[in-house]
Homo-oligomer: A and B are copies of this chain.
Amino acid sequence: MTSFPILTDGDVYSSFEYEWVLEAMREAFVERAAGTLEAPPRWRVDAGEGELVFTAGAATGAVNAAGFRVYETFPETGADHTALVAVFDATTGAFEGLLAGYAVGGLRTGGIGGVAVDALAPDDAQTLGVLGSGFQARSQVGAACTARSFSDVQVYSPTPEHRDSFATKLDDEGDPSVRALEDAEPVVREADALLCATDSTGPVFDPDWLEAGTHVTTIGPKYRDAHELPPAVLERADAIATDSLPQLEAGDRPSLLSNDQLDRTVELAEVLESPDCGRDGADEITLFCSVGLAGTEVVLGKRLLAELA
């Protein structure tokens, strides 16, 4: 093979549409429900001062994509660092192309979050709350606002410049209006859907602020000894879902979820097939634990290559 398509973050971010991301993730969950999404737990390899982490998988149904994402956990970062996503045809094994950068990893997590909000938030959800203003928060908001028609988005993160810049940037992109608040409490209290997308190792809100009927998504750490979510939310949640039970259970550190909580957690693919497994009334609290279903990067990578390469 002498040449193949390569997409960089610049290629992706300048031209992608959240609709593609959501469609690709819905296709991935259809395959997950049908049992055609191979998604083994991550493989971590010591690689000097850091690790290489592989998430490989395949969607062997209609999507027909196989491949992997690899990222590194070195303390250093910079323009000479990159993750890689490689896409193969799952029937023939032909190599279809490479995505170098971080866009696929972030966008597929955002897309999964968007599918989860659509499946679990109350039908009349109007206000989207966001705790965190980084890379992950951005794609969560983009996908959630494509999946559902929120009337407004309220964001809080501890550094004023970060939350203001985040809100200004997203507000400029069009509907809905996005504004930064100076305190987490009203963001949580007024949210119909609350997205926690931080790297905080301690709870980022007081669980007493959480009102009946709210959907909560947690993207950040969810270990027993490091978690952005107040543990009380797990006790209060009427339904708990995740994108991958095996990945949730395969963590290298003890999970924030007790065994009883793990036992009642359902996969998002199951909720999409059988909505009864999810929200059962406007006053319920629902929780989505995003862990990163393997195989989804490859499904999105294939779609991005098809659209942009």
Question: Which residues from chain A sit less than 8 Å from chain B, CB to CB?
Answer: 1-4, 8-10, 38, 40, 43, 45-50, 52, 54, 56-58, 60, 64, 66-68, 70, 72-76, 78-82, 84, 86, 88-95, 98, 100-101
Contact = CB atoms under 8 A, between A and B. Distances in A.
A91 B49 contact: yes
A241 B91 CA distance: 38
A38 B49 contact: no
Given A72-B93, A81-B93, A94-B81, A100 B45 contact: no
A41 to B, nearest CB: 11
A95 B67 contact: no
Contact of A45 (B52, B56, B82, B86): B56
Contact of A38 (B10, B45, B64, B73): B45
A6 to B, nearest CB: 8
26 contacts: A1-B100, A4-B100, A38-B45, A45-B68, A47-B56, A47-B66, A47-B67, A47-B88, A47-B93, A48-B58, A48-B93, A49-B90, A49-B91, A49-B92, A49-B93, A52-B67, A52-B68, A70-B86, A72-B93, A74-B92, A76-B94, A78-B92, A80-B94, A81-B93, A84-B86, A98-B98
A305 B101 CA distance: 20
Contacts of A93: 47-50, 72-76, 81
A54 B43 contact: yes
Nearest to A11: B2
A45 to B, nearest CB: 4
A73 B90 CA distance: 11
